[in-house]
Structure 1
């Protein structure tokens, strides 16, 4: 699934040189009651107010700097990045309540990335939940870490804590709060989604938080299937070799079975969220393309599938067997994951063969994102056609459908469905959500009404398309239940998104009515799906478009890698019809994956070409794309950019 491929990459906001940086990941709807605060730490009384270190670090009240008032909490003497301030909330947080946790952090010197997390224990078993991912923190200003957390299980130990990503530098903490908004009962006087869409099952991806209280009631009322979002992945089910755990997944499966919900298994093979031991050879070194490593890797794969799939047997009727194996920028279309570099296509063949042996009656899917992009769609089609011709038991193709309010068009999506129809496979929409954002630069304190309406039109038109193709589309799953728990709050940048049918208080949005009763949102067409500019790049600037400006930002970084965001602005007087943007990396960086365009790199030289939907840039308009890259040394920003051969201003 794309969602957790992205979640596996830490993300952060770029800090301004001196001003405080606010990272907002929550927003209350207009008319919400005032939050009820259950924890406040301002350190103005000169004590640590219950905060302690996670190890032997020093925790003390300080007057050196303060976010508010005159004091903060100083954390020093750290010898590991995970060390930091921690506070007990076992007697404060109630199971099933969504808490907004906010903390202000500032480095004493230099910079790093900070995380806000929760440690919980049941008996001797510890688990760690990330509330806010890696976020840039500097010494020149305060950074706000804000996120939502819902305790989904009974625990014996529960603490919130702050840590850094890479250094052991001292930092300050101030003005910590935890609060919740009183819940509303779910609406029982509106149609159930499962009743108004009878053509195929409609499901939701879930975590433990979605099966309790009002969340569980909402799930049971509207949906007919569930997908455990993370609980069936390799890192959750086999964290160490041949030691299997189903502690995360079993409660979700039991809830589904008790309430008559079908289950989609996700996922048996993926290049992300796979423990490093899987790719470590018998000699203790990273695996390479040797016969010995290939044999060991495929043996581990077979053992994993036989155990995990076998544990649930017929309880799970559909599995995403392999996930995200396509890279349209490769000549053969195959992602150069360790799975592929060590075992070639045999890892896919083995996965489906073993899954069929263990699950003779299950539907076995290959799943990927951006399958409405022609280049990726066609590479996936070619792979499925080849493997099925070999007898590999692929029953279906999963289209993730992580989309936004302006992309893709209905025509592109229909072409996606029609492309695979001749193969005779089932098709399912496996991870659908509709972001209210159109690029990584936008941030809203609360979802704007016009974006929510535009989103409703997208859901209306996409579901109408899926229902028209019910003979090909056999299931639609939304990647989440409600806006209070969505992976898009932290990817591609940290900001509050609202991509689902129900809001943060579990109330129906215009998006819901776009599916349940489109007459309630009016008849205006959605600009995002009624048309889509499609143009091929030209080799020279369009007439009159002699000026351009480029904004290049690093929006996330981690050891050995980073995430970039690029915005191209047409500052000329004529439209650009098709574009290529070129630059040089001076630090040896390599682009590993790119979205909203296609990339070619030769040494230090990078060229990005528009996608079919963003090739036209009107005067004053912009086009954006993002990418993941490797950076083993420094990571200097490119000094210059050229658009269709014309040098651009760098903002």
Structure 2
């Protein structure tokens, strides 16, 4: 379920609805023709943010854009295991610290992404010399990594994606067990209880942080059911799990709003918080599509209506308490190069940071629901 206004105001996330910092005010003066997207959604009681990189924050123009338009941040890559821990017991916190410092300076809540994931993992975790690591040693390594990283950012990160993408359905190229758990090294070496172990370690390292399970294609009914069961099972065993993150990498013909609504309702039945954590709308028919050869007004108009419809749903239902897009502009989207270099324009600002039709659609929705 969504937080009540009283509960919401008591959480660090409410900071994302606060006043403008000096850099935000300066950006507003520079860009008076483009009112703050984050400010508009703050009025609608929905913190709206983005995934950022340390390099973007070091660029004055991009930093001003971020500070002006977004009210909650997440590190796109700088806080993932392979980037933060090149060797066992060694950490490179500079990138994550730069983002955390920027967020604190501008009174923006910061999400931590991500602690346990089968991709971009710290590769040393899974090997002991040339052999696969033992179950006991992998558990110890995971617990130490989580304690060190969460402890380092304690008080600066209000919510962690503790486990990312551990469930898979309807993807024949990815092996899974009978319960839908991806057969990653975490699952095959430790077993399905690796999720519980990770959440317990994160709760011990920072009892005040909100702890999330995060995944893509959560609108898939089978995956939604598996996530609901996971949350219920963890809660039944006394494990602290506070939320579910819906990545929401969308495209022209997927997902359907009905499926999204059903998934949000299903997760709400567990009583946990929900965030949309990685939103974008590909202009190709499907997220991995490569057919588009040019960005046309028709595609941008269609994209705008898709953004409008989804955000209208989220604000109408009030079961999702934060939304973050995955990138700050079309020039800074992972979809430009995945699954291969292609024509894409998935965000609400173009490559010159100018507002697109999607920006105006989102502003219209935010104003509709402003308090």
TM over 0.5: yes
How much does 1:346 deviate?
2.5
Contact 2:311/2:365 (CA < 8 Å) preserved in 1? no
Task: Select which of 274, 279, 283 maps to 2:126.
Answer: 279
Answer yes or no: is 1:379 the counterpart of 2:226: yes
Pair 1:463–1:257, CA change in 2 (3 A): same
Contact 2:51/2:76 (CA < 8 Å) preserved in 1? yes
Contact 1:187/1:507 (CA < 8 Å) preserved in 2? no
Summarize deviations over 1:305-345 as a string: whole Å, max 9, x none: 11111011011001101100001254211010010011112
State the match for 1:314 in structure 2.
155
State the match for 1:301 in structure 2.
142
Summarize deviations over 1:20-42 as a string: whole Å, max 9, x none: xxxxxxxxxxxxxxxxxxxxxxx
Q: Which runs of 5+ in 1 are unaligned?
A: 1-184, 288-292, 521-651
Answer yes or no: is 1:190 the counterpart of 2:1: no
Task: Select which of 188, 198, 201 maps to 1:341.
Answer: 188
- Cα separation, 1, equivalents of 2:194 and 2:291: 41
Answer yes or no: is 1:461 the counterpart of 2:309: yes
Q: How many residues align?
A: 329
- Cα separation, 2, equivalents of 1:496 and 1:262: 32
Contact 1:370/1:400 (CA < 8 Å) preserved in 2? yes
How much does 1:396 deviate?
0.3
Contact 2:118/2:185 (CA < 8 Å) preserved in 1? yes
Q: How does 1:589-628 map to 2 (within 5 A)?
A: none
Q: Secondary structure at the match of 2:361?
A: helix
State the match for 1:97 in structure 2.
none
How much does 1:379 deviate?
1.5
Task: Select which of 496, 500, 503 maps to 2:350.
Answer: 503
- Cα separation, 1, equivalents of 2:366 and 2:227: 37
How much does 1:519 deviate?
11
Answer yes or no: is 1:207 the counterpart of 2:53: yes
How much does 1:186 deviate?
6.3
TM-score, normalised relative to structure 1: 0.49
Answer yes or no: is 1:362 the counterpart of 2:209: yes
- Cα separation, 1, equivalents of 2:365 and 2:203: 41
Structure with the bigger RCO (C-alpha within 8 Å, sep 6+) is 2
Pair 1:465–1:518, CA change in 2 (3 A): closer
- Cα separation, 1, equivalents of 2:351 and 2:310: 23
How much does 1:242 deviate?
0.5
**Structure showing the higher strand proportion among its residues:** 1
Contact 1:186/1:506 (CA < 8 Å) preserved in 2? no
- Tell me whether 300-309 or 252-261 shows the greater mean CA deviation: 252-261
Task: Select which of 449, 465, 473 maps to 2:297.
Answer: 449
TM-score, normalised relative to structure 2: 0.85
User: Considering only CA atoms, is the larger Rg found in Structure 1 or Structure 2?
Assistant: 1
Q: Which runs of 5+ in 2 are unaligned?
A: 1-28, 171-175
- Cα separation, 2, equivalents of 1:489 and 1:415: 30
Q: Secondary structure at the match of 1:306?
A: helix
**Structure showing the higher helix proportion among its residues:** 2
State the match for 1:256 in structure 2.
103
Pair 1:226–1:339, CA change in 2 (3 A): same
State the match for 1:435 in structure 2.
282
Pair 1:441–1:269, CA change in 2 (3 A): closer
Summarize deviations over 1:361-419 as a string: whole Å, max 9, x none: 11000000000111211122111211111111110000000001221121111111101
Contact 1:436/1:499 (CA < 8 Å) preserved in 2? yes
How much does 1:441 deviate?
5.4
Q: How does 1:82-231 map to 2 (within 5 A)?
A: 187-197=31-41, 198-211=44-57, 212-231=59-78
Root-mean-square deviation (CA, aligned residues, Å) is 1.8
How much does 1:245 deviate?
1.2
Q: Secondary structure at the match of 1:316?
A: coil
